[in-house]
Amino acid sequence: MTWFILGAISLVLLVIYRNNRNAVWGGLAGGLFIGLIIAVFFYFKGTGLYTKENIFDWHIIVRWAITGTIFGFAIELLAITSKKLFKK
């Protein structure tokens, strides 16, 4: 349930910041990349819950994409805040 709420928040953030290149979309791309690397590693390692008999686990990629998007939004807020602080 928590990941559904975080996923909805991530989708809203992506819609809000859809017009230009920023840290939110960069966080999404970075999260997808890291999640893909980890998912492929666990798939080929074949230990624990991630065995070769199981289907490729997309949950890892989606969770890293959500995490990356929210992290990118935090970086974007930091940039906005620093611009306002140094403007005064």
Q: What is the pLDDT of residue 83?
A: 87
Rg (CA), the chain: 16
The structure's pTM equals 0.81
Judge whether 78 lies within some domain.
yes
Q: What is the pLDDT of residue 57?
A: 75
Q: What is the pLDDT of residue 49?
A: 56
Render pLDDT for 9-55 as a digit per residue (tens, 0 to 9).
999 999 998 888 889 999 999 999 999 998 888 777 765 555 555 56
Render pLDDT for 46-75 as a digit per residue (tens, 0 to 9).
655 555 555 667 888 999 999 999 999 999
Q: What is the pLDDT of residue 86?
A: 85
Number of domains composing the chain: 1
Alpha-carbon gap, residue 75 to 70, rounded angstroms: 9
Alpha-carbon gap, residue 88 to 32, rounded angstroms: 37
Alpha-carbon gap, residue 64 to 33, rounded angstroms: 9
Which residue range is the domain that position 75 belongs to?
A: 23-87
Angle at 57 between CA 46 and CA 52, to 5 degrees: 30
Judge whether 4 lies within some domain.
no
